[in-house]
């Protein structure tokens, strides 16, 4: 009787141990992490982009005005696609590098960095001559202007936005690198007769490197300089609605290897 009692007592214990053992020997294949998204929507709540890197193989869609604030650096890897949502006025989208901020957008010949409209799938979904589908790329610096006052508010940005101010006294100011970059289908209206240029350079200093840039089908100017001393080499501007190149406020930089191909509906160089 004593032995039977011991045996009966051990049965539930063995059952518990077996259950634990079987559970621990189940499928122990680790759960794979969720795949990293291929698209990111970027909005600016006033804090700017922060110091960050936009990665190759990803698409970044700007929703509204997105700033690289003073003290921040936005690095964009070769092959990255940056798109802008459509909209006019306060609903326009653009990337703005504020005074004291930096952009390091250094593509390569084989992997250019492309700024375009959200609707552009890069496979012909947008006609090559389509303009004004988003805003543009704006870089603001601390170089000198020939204006009074010495600081100005960039066109294309509401005057209520303090990060849209440019101008200073540092002609060697460095706003970063823009190299092997294509800017397409921009120039949306933000007001009557007020469109954003493909690439706006406001008081950008000579410490900034801009080389191998193209602007295609912008509604306003391809590249416009407002003062500053930045040099631009290897620039191709095509099918823009207004000037290919334009300058104002005492631009004193240099240009080399510039090509402009104008559309039939534009009589401006």
pLDDT for residue 73 is more than 70: yes
- Establish if 238 belongs to a structural domain: yes
pLDDT over 70, % of the chain = 86
User: What CA dihedral angle connects 24, 26, 27 and 28, to 10 degrees?
Assistant: 10
Looking at the 3D structure of the chain, how many domains does it have?
A: 1
pLDDT at residue number 189: 85
Residues in a beta bridge with 83: 61, 116
- pLDDT tens across 32-48, in order? 676 778 999 999 999 99
Separation between Cα atoms, residue 130 and residue 247, nearest integer Å: 24
Residue of higher predicted confidence among 36 and 20: 36
- Establish if 10 belongs to a structural domain: no
Neighbours of 147 (CB within 10 A): 15
Residues in a beta bridge with 59: 39, 81
- Establish if 193 belongs to a structural domain: yes
pLDDT for residue 98 is more than 80: yes
- Establish if 20 belongs to a structural domain: no
Beta strand 165-166 with 152-153 is: antiparallel
- Establish if 125 belongs to a structural domain: yes
- Establish if 12 belongs to a structural domain: no
CA distances to 152, 160, 208, 219 from 259, rounded to whole Å, are 29, 36, 21, 18
* Residue 83 structural domain: 39-261
H-state helical runs in the chain: 2-24
pLDDT for residue 258 is more than 70: yes
Residue of higher predicted confidence among 34 and 1: 34
Separation between Cα atoms, residue 188 and residue 169, nearest integer Å: 31
């Amino acid at each position: 009787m004593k032995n039977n009692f011991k045996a009966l007592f051990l049965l539930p214990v063995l059952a518990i141990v077996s259950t634990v053992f079987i559970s621990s020997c189940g499928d122990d294949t680790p759960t794979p992490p969720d795949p990293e998204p291929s698209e990111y929507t970027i909005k600016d709540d006033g804090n700017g982009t922060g110091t960050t890197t936009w990665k190759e193989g990803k698409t970044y869609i700007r929703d509204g005005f997105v700033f690289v604030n003073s003290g921040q650096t936005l690095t964009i890897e070769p092959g990255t696609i940056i798109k802008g949502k459509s909209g006019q006025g306060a609903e326009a989208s653009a990337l703005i590098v504020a005074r004291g901020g930096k952009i390091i957008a250094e593509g390569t010949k084989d992997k250019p960095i492309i700024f375009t409209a959200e609707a552009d799938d890069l496979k012909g979904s947008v006609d090559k001559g389509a303009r004004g589908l988003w805003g543009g790329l704006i870089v603001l610096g601390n170089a000198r202007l020939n204006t009074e006052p010495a600081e100005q508010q960039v066109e294309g940005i509401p005057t209520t936005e303090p990060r849209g101010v440019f101008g200073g006294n540092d002609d060697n100011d460095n706003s970063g690198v823009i190299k092997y970059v294509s800017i397409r289908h921009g120039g949306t209206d933000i007001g009557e007769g007020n469109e954003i240029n493909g690439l706006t350079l406001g008081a950008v200093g000579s410490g900034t490197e801009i080389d191998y840039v193209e602007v295609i089908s912008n509604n306003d100017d391809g590249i416009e300089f407002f003062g500053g001393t930045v040099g631009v080499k290897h620039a191709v501007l095509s099918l823009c609605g207004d000037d290919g190149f334009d300058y104002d406020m005492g631009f004193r930089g240099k240009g080399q290897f510039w090509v402009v191909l104008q559309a039939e509906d534009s009589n401006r160089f």
